[in-house]
Structure 1
Amino acid sequence: MFRLAADEELTDEKLGEFLRQHAYESTFRYQQLKNAYETDYPIFYQEKKPEWKPDNRIAVNFAKYIVDTMNGFFMGHPIKIAADEDSIGKFVEFLDQYNDQDDNNAELSKICSIYGKGYEMYYVDDAANIGITYLTPMDAFMIYDDSVLCRPRNFVRLYLDADNVLHGSVSDESKVRYFTQKGRLVWEEEEKIHGFDGVPATEYVENEEQLGIFEPVLTMINAYNKAISEKANDVDYFADAYMKVLGAYVDDGSVKKIRDNRIVNFTQGMRDILPEVEFMSKPDGDATQEHLIDRLERLIFQISMVANISDENFGTSSGIALKYKLQAMSDLEKTKERKFTSGMNRRYKLIFSNPVSRMKKDDWVKLHYRFTPNFPANVLEETQIAQNLDGIVSQETLLSVLSVVDNAQTEIQKIEQEKERAQETAAEDRLLERLRDEQQNVLESAGS
């Protein structure tokens, strides 16, 4: 964590120190995590073996599997946001749609799973609307004060241009400054007022330790890749074993006949010793290798606490047994949910503080978030639960039980609209029926 005393100025020298620390961490930690997710493992860079030896390089990308599985479990269903007032709910719905926030949330969650943390930045765009974008910790970092509350002091965003020159911006509680690094920091004269009541960015974390979800098992993933590569080398070795012939001379022509006809036929050798013909093979370590590979695979999923949903035995479970298999991942999801909720509170607190939002600064406390873990849906069971809850809880709570309902408030509005249309239709039908009766009575009176 980058810390700066509350009464200390962020000088060029201090910022340069932070930039060097960030570059070091990006190079020696974040880049390795990024490489692992993108299937760029150390196995591909090991020293080459001699030409006559098999040299397979196989990487099983557990890192990507773990991240994507957890992200799908956590963000497979978009976050549902309810507001105490309709005007607040409508603004949040517009804001989220304008910024494709469901996708932003999913990408931010993935970034946190890979690197242990990620960032969200806020700005006012050319259309005078509030924009939201996400950044990896390789592209930005937050500077906090040295108090126990760790208040954000500055947010630094970085990028390289086409000439590999570093550019960046530094935001504080009121303005944004821009710089270029050309041996030293060169600042642009223009400063911009961002309009937010605080540093216009939020740091989201995967957990308190800010560890990526596969980071604790990365050494095991590398060991697995090495073991399975050596296993493939052994397969190639046994498929290309050498034949030895003892007690007889085999010329080139005979070697060709043996290879083509696959028949070995020698007369009695010298000193009444029959020729010995067999393949040379090294000791078979297949059982040991398989045991190591199986144990590494089990430990990778066990320590990462992410379920191996591709396992053939996983799909045979149902009901409560399936939830027990997902218990560890569910616990991990709850921790991430609390951290994400904290970040979202800061998101809307900052956005509502900007005059462009036309919201009151404290309206963010009227928002309520609902995360829905992506368990295999049992709609029949959900509807039965909803029916049992009818008359016990509010309609909004009742509808939120159903995974098929994305937004309970919107669904309630649709139900009310359908009731109004049904009532209007029924009233129209009664009116038409009365008119027909009156017309019939007039005709009967005229006939009389």
Structure 2
Amino acid sequence: MDKVNEFEHGADTSSSSGTTANFVSFSVESNIHYRYSSAEELLDNTDILAKMISHHNEHQVPRLQVLDDYYKAKNTNIIKNRKRKEKEKADHRAAHNFGKVLATFDVGYNTGNPLKVQINGESSQTIIDEFNQDNDIDGLNGELWLDMDKYGRAYEIIYRDEDDIDYVDLCNAFETFVVYDTTVKRKPILAVRYPKTKFTVDADEQFIQPIIYTADKIITYDETTIAAIELKNPNEDAHEYKEVQITEFSPNRFRMGLYEDVLSQIDLYDAGQSDTANYMTDLNDALLVISGDIEAAGLTTDDAVKQKEANMLLLESGTDINGNKTSVTAGYIYKQYDVNGVEAYKERVRKGIHEISMIPDLTDTNFSGVQSGEAMKYKMFGFNQMTAVKQRLFKKSLVRRYRLLFNLKSSVSEIDNSDLKGLRIVFTPNLPKAILEELKTLVDSGAELSQETILGLASFIDNVQEELDRVEKEGTPLPSTDEEKENLKKEQAEFLAKQAKSKGD
């Protein structure tokens, strides 16, 4: 039985009873890894390879699209939900991009500060530094991390252009996948890209360009349609990377996105906010009911119809036990609204989104005020555990990036060997720092800081060495004797103490 004035909460699928299911469901097929015995056997069976491409487009891309929509506040349930039962009632659809909020924090925390890539050997370090500079590698790392948060997977491709410059770029997750072998190591045997080449109105007639990457060659097939994929007329180009050029990044072994397991909570919050907006609109348009002796007021049936159009309802009163007409009464009909209960419910849902996703809620009052370092560690304990896993897997893929680079340079005799011994990748969390308090603590404990270090902390000094040169040129000598250093240290301590006091006031 349908409920009276029921507000709609769910997706565009509903049960036979008319109630709406409030969740987004993904099939197992939407996130499976493609595996085959070897690249050679798979290339000999192009029908199977074509079915893999078709399967990816049919089963995996829809999941990626939903996750992308939730990042862009195009939330599936609230946007595509069926209409309200009463046509004259408000039907607001408020979508909230919690996906973007959660992902922005995670991406900024892990990649806001550039990753440090270090290796033994000056020549090897120079190669990596030049490669990183040519490719704006800090920006690419941030984009890869964002794709991991959104889709549970990210892809990059390394290649050399006609000017012999090595590049690495982000691959579109909607048209890229990797095929692994059947061993326990799950070694990549080939990767597939099928970029769309022509715009068509009919999705079934969409043209794609299948491109296959193996450990030693790139195979480009003729254009074909996504509805009837045929891999014909392969054009092969050899490469010297010794491995598949495309690298997959994933935040966990399940390839789950950051906010994928809180989609139902996001839907609940959307529904709660939409219901509130609908209530406020419906309250403004509430139906006025006037009951009593209508005839005595000189109103006819035609008058009653006109009043209904004005959002009023006239009801004829009856007579009491003495035969007298009952008195005329008036009042509005509207749904009663438990303000405290509804707001508490929405706040509970919002907190649940942060709790389950393990992303700290910076609007929480517990984050305000002065918090000790140990207290903050406990508040971010779950987030740090999740981050440790993601950073470990991200490093693993980054090592493969630089291994491919060194493989190529070794193959074309640009370097003697492709040894990555001593390669270190260091993450620096992007968090606010209390520099003043740290400096004061160090100085008070007797630590000696160089002028270069202190000047490097100043936001208004772009080049520390130039500033030191200016100081020396102006005739202000830097401290050289122990006495001069001690006096300078006292002056710094006094300055920091004054700054700390003024900040406290």
Q: Identify the TM-score tier after normalising by the shorter chain.
A: 0.7 to 0.9
**1:40 and 2:74 are equivalent in the alignment:** yes
Alignment of 1:260-299 (within 5 A): 271=324, 273-299=326-352
Number of equivalenced pairs: 403
- Structure of greater relative contact order (alpha carbons < 8 Å, 6+ residues apart): 1
Instruction: Give the C-alpha shift of residue 390 in structure 1.
Output: 7.6
Name the CA shift for 1:90/1:207 in 2 (closer, same or farther; >3 Å). same
**Which moves more between the two structures, 50-59 or 300-309?**
50-59
What TM-score comes out, normalization by structure 2 length? 0.71
Q: Is the 8 A contact 2:148 2:154 kept in 1?
A: yes
Across the aligned residues of Structure 1 and Structure 2, the Cα RMSD in angstroms comes to 3.6
Alignment of 1:302-381 (within 5 A): 302-320=355-373, 321-355=375-409, 358-381=414-437
Equivalent-residue separation in structure 2 for 1:272 and 1:22 (angstroms)? 74
SS in 2 for 1:36: helix
Gaps of 5+ in 1: 260-268, 406-410, 427-448
Q: Is the 8 A contact 1:352 1:360 kept in 2?
A: no
Q: 1:408 matched to which residue of 2? A: none
Q: 2:50 matched to which residue of 1? A: 16
Name the CA shift for 1:357/1:297 in 2 (closer, same or farther; >3 Å). farther
Alignment of 1:428-439 (within 5 A): none
Q: 2:353 matched to which residue of 1? A: 300
SS in 2 for 1:365: coil
Name the CA shift for 1:282/1:327 in 2 (closer, same or farther; >3 Å). same
Instruction: Give the C-alpha shift of residue 96 in structure 1.
Output: 0.7
Q: Which amino acid aligns with 2:431?
A: F
Instruction: Give the C-alpha shift of residue 21 in structure 1.
Output: 2.1
Q: Which amino acid aligns with 1:274?
A: S
**Greater share of helix:** 1
Instruction: Give the C-alpha shift of residue 310 in structure 1.
Output: 3.4
**1:6 and 2:16 are equivalent in the alignment:** no
**1:176 and 2:215 are equivalent in the alignment:** no
SS in 2 for 1:310: coil
State the identity %: 25
| Partner deviation per Cα, 1:72-94 (whole Å, 9 max, x = no partner) | 11111110122322222222111
Name the CA shift for 1:319/1:187 in 2 (closer, same or farther; >3 Å). farther
| Partner deviation per Cα, 1:395-422 (whole Å, 9 max, x = no partner) | 9xxx9xx9969xxxxx9xx87xx79x98
Equivalent-residue separation in structure 2 for 1:245 and 1:189 (angstroms)? 80
Instruction: Give the C-alpha shift of residue 312 in structure 1.
Output: 4.8
| Partner deviation per Cα, 1:15-60 (whole Å, 9 max, x = no partner) | 0121122113334311111111111112111122233111110011
Q: 2:250 matched to which residue of 1? A: 205
Equivalent-residue separation in structure 2 for 1:184 and 1:54 (angstroms)? 46
Alignment of 1:38-117 (within 5 A): 38-42=72-76, 43-49=78-84, 50-117=86-153
**Which moves more between the two structures, 338-347 or 244-253?**
244-253
Instruction: Give the C-alpha shift of residue 175 in structure 1.
Output: 0.5
**Which moves more between the two structures, 65-74 or 374-383?**
374-383
SS in 2 for 1:120: strand
Q: 1:25 matched to which residue of 2? A: 59
Q: Is the 8 A contact 1:124 1:194 kept in 2?
A: no
Q: Is the 8 A contact 1:379 1:403 kept in 2?
A: no
| Partner deviation per Cα, 1:159-193 (whole Å, 9 max, x = no partner) | 10124301121011111001232434244453112
What TM-score comes out, normalization by structure 1 length? 0.80
Q: Is the 8 A contact 1:142 1:154 kept in 2?
A: yes
Equivalent-residue separation in structure 2 for 1:360 and 1:386 (angstroms)? 46
Q: Is the 8 A contact 2:210 2:231 kept in 1?
A: no
Equivalent-residue separation in structure 2 for 1:198 and 1:305 (angstroms)? 36
Residue among 172, 184, 187 paired with 1:151:
187
Q: 1:245 matched to which residue of 2? A: 290
